[in-house]
Structures are given as C-alpha cells and as structure tokens.
Homo-oligomer: A and B are copies of this chain.
C-alpha cells in the first residue's frame, strides 16, 4: 500500500519545475501524492504551517517536511502574494 504524501505549492515557476521533474517521478505504488495549490486553497495555509512548512514547494511524507528550493514563503502566501 502506498504511503500518503502531500505536495504543497503555489503555482510559481519554482513550484512547477519541481512538480514536473521531481514530484511526477514518484512511483505511485510507493507514494500517493495529494497536490495542494495554496493560492486557491487558502484554508490549508494554516495546516501547512502547522506541519512545519516554511516555504513552497514542499513535499510532506509522513511527518517529514522536505522543502525544495524556495518559490514562496508561507508569509508571502498569507499576504496573498507569490
């Protein structure tokens, strides 16, 4: 059974690049990836912050946060930027 993972992003160039090259390369039999665009799903910004996400793009696997480069900070997203 694949493990649940969440890809938080904000649709920026850095996020799209990471998604196309890295997230799309995951084996769905190992990781079951939910993709969350925080520009449109603002209700989940608080969830992302609580998990420990400081910036996007980020992949959460289990309780571990993996920040990938930095497209936008959570603070930027709270203020409607990015």
Q: How large is the interface on A (under 10, 10 to 19, 20 to 34, 35 or more residues)?
A: 20 to 34
A77 on the B face (CB < 8 A): no
A62 on the B face (CB < 8 A): yes
A66 touches B18 (CB 8 A): yes
Q: A34 CB to closest chain B CB, in angstroms?
A: 14
The 9 closest A-B CB pairs, nearest first, are A27-B27, A25-B30, A21-B61, A25-B31, A25-B26, A66-B68, A67-B69, A22-B66, A21-B64
A11-31: which residues lie under 8 A (CB-CB) from chain B?
17-18, 21-22, 24-28, 30-31
A59 on the B face (CB < 8 A): yes
A30 touches B24 (CB 8 A): yes
